[in-house]
Amino acid sequence: MPNLAKEHCSACHRAAAPLTSEQIAPLLPALSKWQIVERGGIMQLQRSFMFRNFAQALDFTHRVGELAESQGHHPAITTEWGQVTVTWWTHKIRGLHRNDFIMAARTDEVVHANV
């Protein structure tokens, strides 16, 4: 199983092809709490995180934002009382890149750092 959290994002060129289902399959076991969703024909990687209140949800949101800025790769984040939903995909290729799986694994590390 790949140790995605230890990898670094690579430059993604606009011409890069989105990962296919066959390429995605071996990456999913490392991200057991994440699911593949499809929105507007674009495959995305999504997970919801639960918290005791809004303050904790907001703190986690900020940490994910800092992670995104550090890698130059950004998620969609929905922050609610007690819950944060993080969705990763690569806008410029309108699909999933290995970078999205790396960032999902790194997001899981942020939540553990939170507690």
Binding site for ligand H2B (CB under 6 A): 72-74, 90-92
CB nearer to ligand H2B: give 51 or 95: 95
Q: Which is nearer to ligand H2B, 63 or 74 (CB)?
A: 74
Residue 45 token pair:
């990687």
User: What secondary structure letter does DSSP report for 80?
Assistant: E
Q: How far is the CB of 102 from ligand H2B (least distance, A)?
A: 12
Residue 30 is classified by DSSP as G
DSSP 6-26: GS------TTPPPPPHHHHGG
Radius of gyration in angstroms for the set of CA atoms belonging to the chain, rounded to a whole number: 14
Task: State the minimum distance, in angstroms, from the CB of residue 6 to ligand H2B.
Answer: 20
| Residue whose CB is less far from ligand H2B, 90 or 107 | 90
